[in-house]
Amino acid sequence: MPRIAVGLPAFFFVLYFFLFPALAGPPFLTDDPEPVEYKHWEIYLASLSQKEHGGVSMTAPHVEVNYGIAPNFQLHLIAPMEYVKPTGLPSHYGYGDTELGVKWRFFQNEDAKFMAGTFPLLELPTGAGSRGLGNGDAQVFLPIWLQKGWGPWLTYGGGGYWINPGDGHEDFWYFGWLLQRDLNKYFTLGAELFYETPRETDDERHFGFNIGSIINITENHHILLSAGTDMIGPTGFYSYIAYQLTFGPEKEKGQAEAHLTEVGLPMPEARGR
């Protein structure tokens, strides 16, 4: 049975019965316009893998770091160790291409829970392209991302244009959209659809889906998981797994709140007029 015949019902089955939660970007391919909070950090130890007709590739592992450098601005870095095993050829392992980025949220309406932003990325060709550990040339991604929230629901997506120079390479487009829901404070489910035009002259387009979850072990420690497939395209399986650490300065307390916390008493509830 063709994968599209299995994939579409599976996607809508999960969409209808489970619904989805709130954490943007990882573990999904589609990103969002919301930057890390000012002076806060997100650090991931992760692995992203995919199996195609031409073989298997994965990060083993990669480190992702995001930092809120200013209100509405986030700095971004991915440093990967890559493993590739082309079909019928030897495997290779080594450092891959380094990813740098800056996320900028340029519009926010808090009452409507709507925001918009951009997240340009620069892929530096630090991996050995001759061994399949990198692209061989620098790449630039220029996207626009939109997000809307209501209650425990969140939906976001958008797309952008990849500038992909080099012999045999093609500039390409990526589009994706995601719906997610918080089931409770510990568990989140989400699903995305994505589309990508060919990256190389002999490549195929990708139209697929991912289903993912976020497990909040504590306020600072999280596990992220996702898996999916192309419904149209060469990739038979995608997967992502990560440990995420989040931290930053605590919000300052007023003198009365600080004193009551110090002596172990709760703050009095505010009274309406």
Tens-digit pLDDT string for the chain (273 aa): 444 444 444 333 333 333 333 334 799 999 999 999 999 999 999 999 999 888 999 999 999 999 999 999 999 999 999 999 999 999 999 999 999 999 999 999 999 999 999 999 999 999 998 898 999 999 999 999 999 999 999 999 999 999 999 999 999 999 999 999 999 999 999 999 999 999 999 889 999 999 999 999 999 999 999 999 999 999 999 999 999 999 999 865 444 444 445 545 454 444 443
Give phi and psi for 32, each to the nearest 5.
-135, 170
Per the CB < 8 A criterion, the answer to whether 224 and 244 are in contact is yes
pLDDT at residue 202 in the model: 87
**Residue 225 burial (C-beta neighbours within 10 Å; 0-12, 13-18, 19+):** middle
For 93, other C-beta atoms within 10 Å of its C-beta total: 14
Please give the sequence-ordered ranges of beta strands (E in DSSP) within the chain, or none if there are none.
41-52, 55-70, 73-86, 92-95, 98-109, 114-118, 121-124, 139-150, 153-163, 172-182, 187-196, 206-216, 221-232, 235-247
- Check residue 39 and give left, alpha or beta (phi > 0: left; psi -120 to 50: alpha): left
Residue written as token pair 């719906």: 179
| Residues 21, 49, 15: CA angle, nearest 5 degrees | 30
Radius of gyration of the chain (CA): 21
What is the total residue count of the chain? 273
pTM, rounded to two decimals: 0.83
What gap in Å lies between CA 102 and CA 219, rounded to an integer?
25
| CATH no. for 3-248 | 2.40.160.40
Q: Which residues contact 239 (CB under 8 A, 6 or more apart)?
A: 48, 49, 50, 226, 227
Domain extents in the chain: 3-248
Helix (H) or strand (E) segment spanning residue 5: helix 3-17
